[in-house]
Structure 1
Amino acid sequence: MEIYPPEYSKLWERCTARGFLPKRRSQPIYSAKPKYGPAIISLLKKKTDMAGKRKLIGKTRKIAYRMLHDICRILDEQDIPYVLEAGTLLGIIRENRLLPWDTDVDLTITADYAYQLREAVQHLERKGYRVKTRSYNQDLGPFRKGDARIVKIQTRQFYFFKGYSLLDIFIKYKSGEKYYWMIDDKNPVIKCCPAVYYENRTSYEFDGKLFKVPADYEEYLEYHYGKNWRIPVKEWDFRLDDSCEKEEMKAEQQSAISFFDKPPKNHSS
């Protein structure tokens, strides 16, 4: 059967750019056996990208659990230290689950192991995942143009269709006694936290497996979320609501650069 793309499909442009599909919309984009056609049509007719849009419930929750197991096992096999991060760590420590109102799973790796992570990508891809790396586009503080910023891991559907984008690995860079990172492409925010939380690690059992977490994970959660971290908060702005030191990047960049030179603050535990 011949399949034609819907006019609104952003997937058309992406696939055309990569040479997978013909450029003229009047042409059929795929010739498929009837048994495969409905599944492909279903993918093409989705009006929104699945990346970052689904909460961790139902089928998405099962996929997220599998991804967490797969990726952490590969990192362990490749001797790449990591820690569970942010809402992922919060849900596991506080509630022994991934938080159902979250939309992804977060890990942190320090920049010392960024090169090893690149080499581990082939193992992730052999496992069936798509791996995308976003990098810094300019020198800024401890970041250098081209340095990896975040690695986004997605499931696949068929050969070139992107599935669920459910796991992010943040690459964090040390300056002094802190690690720095940047979040959000459209409205960037630079954050930092004490190095001890990423350099001192321990194992924590969850869902039948041992995962790496900060050695003093309760102190870290208090640092990150405040003294009331044990009280659930479902409405949360991941950019600005946490307690980490942070600064929004301005157009002229100067304020963000000065952020790296600020004296350390005392955080009560």
Structure 2
Amino acid sequence: MCKEKILIFGVGVAGRALYRELNSTHNIIGFIDNNKRLDGTKYNNKKIHSLDKLPLLSFDKIAITGIWVNSMKNQLQSLNIKDSKIMEIADNAINFSTQSRTKETDNIMKNISQIFTDNKIDYYIIGSSLATLFRNKDLSSVADVDLFLTSQKDAISFYDFITTSPLFKEYDIEKVLYLEDEILVKKGDIKKIIISSKSIKAQEEPSIIDISIADFLDEKYMVRHGVNYIYIPKNLCEGLRYHKYKDLELQIPFLAEDYLCLLYGKNWIIPPKKWDQSDYGNLLSPVEVQKLKESLGAR
């Protein structure tokens, strides 16, 4: 085992997966995280420290991975952490999947698909989850399964169905609301619905289905991504198309390959070793969305 003292930046999905990847071969002494509320708590008996405590800690390297690596690097450099102390792990070296997680993820997707089909609700698998389908990998191999609904009406109906259906009584269901009026939404609108398995173990990641509710502007579906927006041109979704995944038929954008090319570039079929959230080809800032909305209103 490597004797260097390693801190992991982030105790979210990517950080926990990185812990499981490195724990048997490296000396993991704890985590650092931007969430100050986690300071002093533990994950699998490893202490979590808020980022502002970093100058007080003794360590050799800080391990980072995931789509926020550039932001992490910037934060560490602002604290005078040398690049030689930053240990960046390629995204495609991290595996979120286990046999039981694969089974649980597939079960949730089966139940979700049944609700959508029975109630005639359109949805679309998107992002890394869609790329995973085309790469013939298990959906459990990504941090969470991303999909979106096209209207608040469908979101309300879907939430009502799953919170009363016996199929979902074993899962945690979270409805995330907008807390204030924003460019395209009103306070109280549904931002996303998150469905996850209840059993959380240090050696295994829970299955998570992340359902975003898209807004619509200028013939584009707009899905919130952090503080920014990822857009999906409406014409790429028009028409029904299903992708065969094991014993399921999952709905995907009709021109899915064009969408993935827009998102990741022409070589989207090959998983990148490094991917930052700012690398998406269909990313819009709030300022850009506001200007677009104003320009449409002026026509």
Higher helix content, 1 or 2 = 2
Q: Write the distance in 2 (CA, Å) between the matches of 1:76 and 1:65.
A: 16
1:89–1:255 CA distance, 2 compared to 1 (3 A): closer
What pairs up with 1:113-128 in 2 under 5 angstroms?
Answer: 113-123=154-164, 126-127=167-168, 128=170
User: Which of 197, 208, 221 lines up with 1:179 in the alignment?
Assistant: 221
Task: Check the 8 A contact 1:177/1:194 in 2, yes or no.
Answer: yes
Aligned to 1:235: 274
Task: Check the 8 A contact 1:110/1:198 in 2, yes or no.
Answer: no
Where in structure 1 are there 5+ consecutive unaligned residues? Answer: 1-43, 264-269
Identity of matched residues, % = 23
Q: Write the distance in 2 (CA, Å) between the matches of 1:172 and 1:110.
A: 5
Q: How many residues align?
A: 203
Alpha-carbon deviation of 1:262? 6.3
Alignment partner of 1:88 is 2:129: yes
Q: After superposition, what is the alpha-carbon deviation per residue over 1:210-232, rounded to whole angstroms, capped at 9, x for unaligned?
A: 11111111111111211111121
What pairs up with 1:61-140 in 2 under 5 angstroms?
Answer: 61-98=102-139, 100=141, 102-111=142-151, 112-123=153-164, 126-127=167-168, 128-140=170-182
Q: Write the distance in 2 (CA, Å) between the matches of 1:61 and 1:234.
A: 23
Aligned to 1:194: 233
Normalising by structure 1, we get a TM-score of: 0.66
Alpha-carbon deviation of 1:89? 0.9
Aligned to 2:243: 204
Task: Check the 8 A contact 2:101/2:207 in 1, yes or no.
Answer: no
Alignment partner of 1:258 is 2:258: no
RMSD: 2.9
Q: SS of 1:215's equivalent? A: coil
Alpha-carbon deviation of 1:147? 0.8
Q: After superposition, what is the alpha-carbon deviation per residue over 1:152-194, rounded to whole angstroms, capped at 9, x for unaligned?
A: 1011249xxxx8251101110112211112123xxx2222221
Q: Write the distance in 1 (CA, Å) between the matches of 2:188 and 2:235.
A: 26
Q: After superposition, what is the alpha-carbon deviation per residue over 1:74-124, rounded to whole angstroms, capped at 9, x for unaligned?
A: 221222111111111111113253373x21111111114122122222245
Alpha-carbon deviation of 1:201? 2.8
1:70–1:256 CA distance, 2 compared to 1 (3 A): same
Q: Write the distance in 2 (CA, Å) between the matches of 1:98 and 1:155.
A: 14
Q: Write the distance in 1 (CA, Å) between the matches of 2:45 and 2:121.
A: 38
Q: Write the distance in 2 (CA, Å) between the matches of 1:45 and 1:230.
A: 34
Amino acid at match of 1:142: L
Where in structure 2 are there 5+ consecutive unaligned residues? Answer: 1-41, 47-65, 67-93
Normalising by structure 2, we get a TM-score of: 0.60
Does 130-139 or 54-63 show the bigger shift? Answer: 54-63
Alpha-carbon deviation of 1:144? 1.2
Q: Write the distance in 2 (CA, Å) between the matches of 1:212 and 1:88.
A: 12
Amino acid at match of 1:243: G
Q: SS of 2:135's equivalent? A: helix
1:236–1:62 CA distance, 2 compared to 1 (3 A): farther
Q: Write the distance in 2 (CA, Å) between the matches of 1:172 and 1:244.
A: 14
Task: Check the 8 A contact 1:140/1:257 in 2, yes or no.
Answer: no
User: Which of 169, 183, 187 lines up with 1:145 in the alignment?
Assistant: 187
Task: Check the 8 A contact 1:151/1:168 in 2, yes or no.
Answer: yes
Aligned to 2:198: 156
Task: Check the 8 A contact 1:108/1:170 in 2, yes or no.
Answer: yes
User: Which of 229, 251, 263 lines up with 1:224 in the alignment?
Assistant: 263
